[in-house]
Structure 1
Amino acid sequence: MTGPAERSAPRGEATSRRPPRWLPRALLMTVLAVYLAAFGWYALGALRGLAINVLIAFFLALALEPPVLWCVRHGWRRGAAAATALGGSLVAVAVVLALFGNLFVQQLLQLLDVVPEVYTAVQDLAAERFGVALPDSGDLVRDVLTTFGDDVASGALLFGTTVIGALFAMLTVLLVTYYLLAAGPRFRAAVCRWLTPARQQEVLTLWEITQVKVSDFISSRIVLAALSSAFTVVFLLILRTPYALPLALFVGVVSQFVPTIGTYLGGALPVAVALTAQGLPQALAVLAFVIGYQQLENLYFSPKVSARALEMNPAVSFLVVLAFGALFGALGAFLALPVAATIQATANTYLRRHALIESHLLRDPTRWQRVGDDEAAGPGPRP
């Protein structure tokens, strides 16, 4: 005969070995969460390009909102005003490309004609001064085609697909920009209907702040483009380079409104014109001026203008451009200042500021304080 404790022991052991009832459900929920997280990550990566295009369209709509409002105040329908503002900006871009594109192509063709002569001069100089025999231009071209022929072909194919993708992206940006401009208050009302009145006021305030900062950013770009054009036209006139005024306008517009590579694209055309029309010394002088002015603009003009227009510290604006460019590329560098200025203005609006305490570390000493400190220190050596 066995006791009750002995008879219940095997059943308890079997019950302890059986998994708890919640474990299968927890495993299923874990697998589902991992699957949803992986799908979300994939979706974010796949939609990254679309999100960037929508962001560009949003900032374009904010930049074109003032002319649309001007047209609406003068009796235009909002759809017609949006189409006119967007179409006018496209026409302006097309005119700039037509004016300078033809000049750029002509100078590029002349440059291709001049390159063999320049290479021959360099070849003779290297042979006379340094005793170095450079290969002939024909042999050099054949070697390049033999070595990099496949890479050139694949690069041309990649360039073609990139151009097609850029056209689709541009069409997407233009359509979204028009819809945002045409909707205007109706779009903001549709967003605000999902929010409480307090949240609506916050969203509309943030929208207005963003609108102001984007307008300030565009105005700062215009000021920098005017400065660049003025300095460039003076230098080209001193150098007696032909087409000085259109070249200077091209440099100013492209260097400020094309992110990252705009400086190099803008400076390439006057260098090519100087090389084909005047010679190698003048081309090197223009190149040196472009590089020197770029440093002056980065260190002085751009921080000052950006700080005044966007109310940001010059060092902060410079670091913000570097950081956004490293994270998001050319688009990030172009949109860094208005985004950062919007964040700063929002923080100033909603975050509470406190009164400063009295401390000598919070302000520079006056002249009489410095003189008094020197007299109190005595005639001994000063740090």
Structure 2
Amino acid sequence: MAGAGNAWATWRGWMTRRRTEAAAVETPDPAVHVHVPERALQVTPPPRAVAVTAPDSPPYPARPAHPAEAVPWTLRVAAEGMWRLLLVGAGIWVLLQVVGTLRIVALAFVAALLISALLEPTVSWLRRHGVPRGLAAALTFLGGLVGIALVAWFVVWQVSANLSEVTGHVNEGIRQIKSWLETGPMHLTDTQINQFSSQLTKVIGTNSDQITSFGFSTVSVVVEIVTGVFLAAFCTFFLLYDGERIWGWCLRLLPVRSRMSAAGAGPRAWATLTAYVRGTVVVAFIDSLSIGIGIYLLGVPLAMPIAVIIFLGAFIPLVGALVTGTIAVLIGLVTHGPVTALLVLAVLLGVQQIEGHLLQPLILGRAVRVHPLAVILAVACGSIIGGIGGAVVAVPLVAVTNTVVGYLRARHAVDEDVRAALTAAAAPE
């Protein structure tokens, strides 16, 4: 207990001393004078608070009034172009379907256009020398028919005159092939060859129905060809006789604002077509003459009929003469063996290189400015769509389209310049 009392006394003494010191600080002694500057006695107001504003943030976009306004502009432009492209593609597809259904009529009319482009300069020459239009068209048309008939007669005459020789060469070629199968690396026997022949005969007998149907389809194709020939001849005569009035009637079917452009593009398209047909005839003649002389010197029979076929095939640029020339390669193989066939193939490839690198640029380059890649693609697309007729028509169609589009673009640019000049002249100074 005594220790607790001492501790309590000690704590009370310490607290008393603290109170005394605090009272002395709060009540200064009057005898002690402390100088305080007036500036220290002035009360400085606290600094004014500066308002700090947050940077402007874009407001949340309001919901568009129409759903189309929420679509980005680029996507809207792409969609507009796509549906228009789809409509154009659908229109082209419908047009191709109609042309495919009326294939005979379409090909006959296009053939008439090509023949008219070839014969029209003759009609113009006769009219310049005082021959009436009807008589000039009739004379030119009859002259063309006579020329075609003479060529056909010559081909038939050559084939019939050399048929026995060709048959003998074919039989000799078959005998050589049989001998090679027996004595060559295959070492076949007569029994195996006869078995193969009997199997081939059996296959032909089994598929006789298909062969018969193919024969009927061939007859129908012949009928279509004859019909197309007569229709093409009919159209050719009237295009030669009344082509200008037919073109004027076609112009009157167009809207008034489009007639001037069509009237300017039409003659240019016709000039391009005429130049193409003339140049193609020259190139085809040179190809057929060169290949015909080559295979004649090599001793291949039917050289002249093959040359005529090559002339017709050369109307398909770059590939026609080569494809039709394979007939000469096959005949050379059957009649004279593989060496002659290789030589004929070398002649074909040489003439093909001359045509592609010299004749086509020199004769057709200025009139028909179409890249060789475009020619190949056009021939491929034309053959897929319309067969041989489509392959013949494809390149002149591309050439005419190129001319028309170029003319319309140039005319549009001139119209824009004239319109800008008139606007500048009418503006007040």
Whether the TM-score (by the shorter chain) exceeds 0.5 is yes
| CA distance in 2: counterparts of 1:212 and 1:178, whole angstroms | 19
| CA distance in 2: counterparts of 1:84 and 1:165, whole angstroms | 27
2:117 to 62, 68, 78: 62
Query: 2:341 — aligned with what?
Result: 284
Q: Deviation string for 1:280-310 (max 9, x for gaps)? A: 2464245423552475367535653543441
CA contact (8 A) 2:118 2:274 kept: yes
Asked if 1:349 corresponds to 2:407, the answer is yes
Query: 2:193 — aligned with what?
Result: 135
Deviation at 1:327, TM superposition (A): 3.1
Query: 2:34 — aligned with what?
Result: none
- The 5-angstrom pairing of residues 292-303 of structure 1 reads 292-293=349-350, 296=353, 300-301=357-358
Q: Deviation string for 1:92-134 (max 9, x for gaps)? A: 1111121122212444443333333322222222222221235
| CA distance in 1: counterparts of 2:328 and 2:157, whole angstroms | 11
1:323 to 369, 377, 381: 381
Query: 2:208 — aligned with what?
Result: 149
Letter in 2 for 1:93: I
Letter in 1 for 2:193: P
Q: Deviation string for 1:48-99 (max 9, x for gaps)? A: 4423333332333333221111122222222222222222222111111211
Distance 1:109 1:200, change over 3 A: farther
CA contact (8 A) 2:276 2:396 kept: yes
| CA distance in 1: counterparts of 2:182 and 2:400, whole angstroms | 60
Letter in 2 for 1:120: R
Identify which of structures 1 and 2 has the higher relative contact order when contacts are C-alpha pairs closer than 8 Å and 6+ apart. Answer: 2
| CA distance in 1: counterparts of 2:221 and 2:197, whole angstroms | 31
CA contact (8 A) 2:127 2:133 kept: yes
CA contact (8 A) 1:324 1:333 kept: yes
Query: 2:127 — aligned with what?
Result: 72
| CA distance in 2: counterparts of 1:216 and 1:298, whole angstroms | 17
Deviation at 1:351, TM superposition (A): 1.0
Letter in 2 for 1:250: V
| CA distance in 2: counterparts of 1:43 and 1:217, whole angstroms | 27
Structure whose alpha-carbon radius of gyration is higher: 2
**TM-score computed with the length of structure 1 as normaliser:** 0.68
Asked if 1:99 corresponds to 2:154, the answer is yes
Asked if 1:312 corresponds to 2:370, the answer is yes
Deviation at 1:163, TM superposition (A): 0.9
| CA distance in 2: counterparts of 1:143 and 1:41, whole angstroms | 42
Asked if 1:190 corresponds to 2:245, the answer is no
CA RMSD of aligned residues (A): 3.6
| CA distance in 2: counterparts of 1:234 and 1:113, whole angstroms | 23
| CA distance in 2: counterparts of 1:102 and 1:270, whole angstroms | 22
Distance 1:290 1:261, change over 3 A: same
Query: 2:222 — aligned with what?
Result: 163
CA contact (8 A) 1:303 1:317 kept: no
| CA distance in 2: counterparts of 1:106 and 1:274, whole angstroms | 21
Letter in 2 for 1:164: V
CA contact (8 A) 1:217 1:309 kept: yes
Aligned length: 314
Distance 1:295 1:249, change over 3 A: closer
Q: Structure 1: where are the runs of 5+ without partners?
A: 1-36, 355-383
Q: Structure 2: where are the runs of 5+ without partners?
A: 1-90, 414-429
CA contact (8 A) 2:107 2:228 kept: no
1:50 to 85, 105, 129: 105
